[in-house]
Structure 1
């Protein structure tokens, strides 16, 4: 067993990668010990507290002027930036990699996009606190959060005029998956969730008795005066919920092409432990098939994984954190801004001709102000391009303001380590002859490293 390769793969999937100095310390660990250490490091819960005021609860004067409205919106944008920057900073710096990786998973599973940073932060902390706990507990907390009640219109779900948005997405996207319930189930479920609301002085969840339909509902073959919690109980009693969540976990951590035999193994663990998240993750990370060649270096990094992994790998600090929003926007994934209720589809959808070029250039922009030095005699077009890049380099430095800690990075690399081995560490897929030729001809190690992380192979994890 090549422990070094397996440990590297584990950290690439259970976190955002591993740096040289940590791999030196961990490479002789067994997989079991590494998995145990990863969970131990993620026991600590670090809530984000960047947004301290719910602006929606602030009284607004009836005769508010345009200037006052503008000032208020500018303050809201400031809160949004603070929230984004706080989570991005935590992703880059945390030792609880698995907890944050799972928070990112739930952030997409329970996709929510509202114009209230305070509620977004609250939902993010719910997902973080329960990321490795019990799925049913997480599900109830998420569905009762003001952010989700607002996003899926359950605030408007009342017995006189039932709103089915929440009930539909609960089953289609959060638990059972499309095709495993009927339209009538949606209608009856919506009636059960009438009265779930938020508000009051604190803007918190409460049950609005007068808005609740207390009549008999028939849901999935059962009839009673169901409330929302009863519906959730019936849903999680269906093993299909365990299969649905296990499939998403498999595609997120293992392979975008589902293997139903492996997924059913995970679903059995998940269902039989009463939907405990940690045991199903432990089972997956300990399974031989998790380390199969076909499951290594086969997933396309999401934009967030790409940026966070690069930043952690090279110990990058950002004097202008707003640039990270710009990078995510250009790559198609901005935290707290999923495209719709289904979230980011992931997989091959991350890559098209435009985004691939941006992805390939981004590491050089961050690490070397946009310049990649290639060997060999440059043609007239190359010379013109490089001249243009060098001319723009100062502007890039001024705008990006990213500082890699090269001294710390180089200090961890064993002396006289062949560039091929360095490339094998930096890349999850096998290193091909073209990469080896390029980096062997690089004038120095720094240039070789920038070339390595500017390859298509670096886009894979």
Structure 2
């Protein structure tokens, strides 16, 4: 393993090496039982046994956004859970979208250009992809819940930039996800199928009359709407015929429908027969498989926000809300995040942090934004932790959950924890420096090494440490110093606090959220 990963510039060859296989895979969860003592979707109401406390506020921040600072938690303690959720969803739905990059319409060289011109264009294009990823991380801090939903849909409607290639196509794809992240799911499905990136990624541009390509039809049913077991091969075959006729022009970015490529013959799927086209496909699957679509999408939302094995009764109730709202996304998400079930003790710390949650959570806890140097290395950090944004491993998205941690990725997490903690910028115009004394001063008695150690653990960890592990923390902080000599004025105090923070971030419990 390369300990100098922060000197590494990501290359196209690196990304290609990570994605040698497009075979669909998933983490098996059949034997993982659902969690939650309550299936109540009523809005959370604090009580003597379930108070609105820092533990629940941190739980909400880890799921609603990408972590929070101690000051953030204190601020949210003065609000209600419901009002925090509503404010986050309002901001996601109504906030100003980022402006399009200046290269949004940067076309490739015209046909007939030299090979050198094309090589230069695609080298620059890869740098633009990395720039766009860096800007996405900035957006995750600016409007965290909106971008968390964008991350969900990026995984749900998975595409790989290494196949559709062009950065301007990535910008168009993510604009659709942002604009519709809490809107109408049927509308989102409709728009995604005509998107440049998706048309190329699942070979819709090769799906033509007399030579159908079934890739998009299959994934539309299996992964994007209703799940396996709710359709037949005949449905896939005739839906693919109905979806023929779309094209993308690489040279001027024109994308649309050409009737000469479309199969005008009669098709039969889901019990309907007719000369169907694209619009008919979307209408029919939502009419004939409404129950299955609602259950499938609500299950995926549950797994993203709560736990890898959904609570079936909660999902069924959410599915009814989804259908009754004509497939509006917001009512489902808002109901779930405000619910008594969401704040169930069993669901706190029940998820594995994704690489994005892991890295951005550390920034948030440090009460710092990544500076330019951090922004430039972020693509490689996500790459080595195996969540390279814009390039999930295949059309099924990232396996997620337990697969985030492996003998390959966990050591990289430890290295990154050290770097995020110890790194400081010497450039006064581009600062990044963790202030451990300021962090310690947020707690009640930072001059007590035992209380400070336990308070830091409580702040950083979503679950309690075993007693023997908890008792080791003051020793890590003191580093051999007698406890009676500890105080924040001690010359080495800042470094020892950082040592403890990094030690905690390497613990198994810190990998949870």
Give the CA deviation at 1:249: 0.6
Output the CA distance in 2 between the equivalents of 1:454 and 1:111: 30
1:144-155 equivalences under 5 Å are: 144-155=194-205
**What residue in structure 1 maps to residue 462 of structure 2?**
428
The unaligned stretches of length 5 or more in structure 2 are 1-49, 479-495
**What residue in structure 2 maps to residue 456 of structure 1?**
508
**What residue in structure 2 maps to residue 90 of structure 1?**
139
- Deviation readout 1:304-353 (Å, 9 max, x if unpaired): 11112112221142332232112111111100011111111111111112
**What residue in structure 2 maps to residue 292 of structure 1?**
344
Structure number with higher relative contact order (C-alpha < 8 Å, ≥ 6 residues apart): 2
**What residue in structure 2 maps to residue 379 of structure 1?**
none
Comparing 169-178 with 31-40, greater Cα deviation is found at: 31-40
The unaligned stretches of length 5 or more in structure 1 are 370-393
Within the candidate set 124, 131, 134, 1:75 is matched to 124
Output the CA distance in 1 between the equivalents of 2:131 and 2:334: 34
- Deviation readout 1:113-171 (Å, 9 max, x if unpaired): 12111101110111011111111111111111011001111111111211111111111
SS of corresponding position for 1:100 = helix
Within the candidate set 255, 258, 269, 1:208 is matched to 258
Quick check: 2:371–2:431 contact (8 Å CA) kept in 1?
yes
Comparing 112-121 with 36-45, greater Cα deviation is found at: 36-45
Does residue 107 (structure 1) correspond to residue 154 (structure 2)? The answer is: yes
Quick check: 1:192–1:217 contact (8 Å CA) kept in 2?
yes
**What residue in structure 1 maps to residue 442 of structure 2?**
413
**What residue in structure 1 maps to residue 310 of structure 2?**
258
Output the CA distance in 1 between the equivalents of 2:344 and 2:241: 47
Give the CA deviation at 1:180: 0.9
Aligned residues: 430
Moved over 6 A (4+): none
Give the CA deviation at 1:70: 3.4
* Cα separation, partners in 2 of 1:205 and 1:162, compared to 1, 3 Å: same
Does residue 39 (structure 1) correspond to residue 89 (structure 2)? The answer is: yes
Output the CA distance in 2 between the equivalents of 1:365 and 1:402: 15
1:184-263 equivalences under 5 Å are: 184-199=234-249, 202-237=252-287, 238=289, 239-263=291-315
* Cα separation, partners in 2 of 1:460 and 1:229, compared to 1, 3 Å: same
Output the CA distance in 2 between the equivalents of 1:416 and 1:33: 31
Does residue 334 (structure 1) correspond to residue 388 (structure 2)? The answer is: yes
Output the CA distance in 2 between the equivalents of 1:397 and 1:429: 36
Does residue 359 (structure 1) correspond to residue 406 (structure 2)? The answer is: no
Quick check: 1:246–1:266 contact (8 Å CA) kept in 2?
yes
Output the CA distance in 2 between the equivalents of 1:412 and 1:250: 37
* Cα separation, partners in 2 of 1:437 and 1:411, compared to 1, 3 Å: closer
* Cα separation, partners in 2 of 1:41 and 1:421, compared to 1, 3 Å: farther
SS of corresponding position for 1:178 = coil
Give the CA deviation at 1:222: 0.8
Within the candidate set 38, 54, 58, 1:8 is matched to 58
Comparing 248-257 with 416-425, greater Cα deviation is found at: 416-425
* Cα separation, partners in 2 of 1:457 and 1:402, compared to 1, 3 Å: farther
- Of Structure 1 and Structure 2, which has the larger fraction of its residues in helix? 1
SS of corresponding position for 2:310 = coil
SS of corresponding position for 2:341 = helix
Output the CA distance in 2 between the equivalents of 1:2 and 1:445: 30
**What residue in structure 2 maps to residue 390 of structure 1?**
none
SS of corresponding position for 2:408 = helix
Q: Tell me the TM-score normalised to structure 2 length.
A: 0.79
- Deviation readout 1:339-389 (Å, 9 max, x if unpaired): 1111111111111122122223321122115xxxxxxxxxxxxxxxxxxxx
Tell me the C-alpha RMSD between the 2 structures: 2.4
- Deviation readout 1:413-447 (Å, 9 max, x if unpaired): 14415321332121111233244223322034333
Quick check: 1:132–1:278 contact (8 Å CA) kept in 2?
yes
- Deviation readout 1:194-217 (Å, 9 max, x if unpaired): 113333874243221111112221
- Deviation readout 1:7-40 (Å, 9 max, x if unpaired): 2211111111122112111114222222222223
Give the CA deviation at 1:183: 0.3
Comparing 36-45 with 209-218, greater Cα deviation is found at: 36-45
Within the candidate set 157, 169, 177, 2:219 is matched to 169
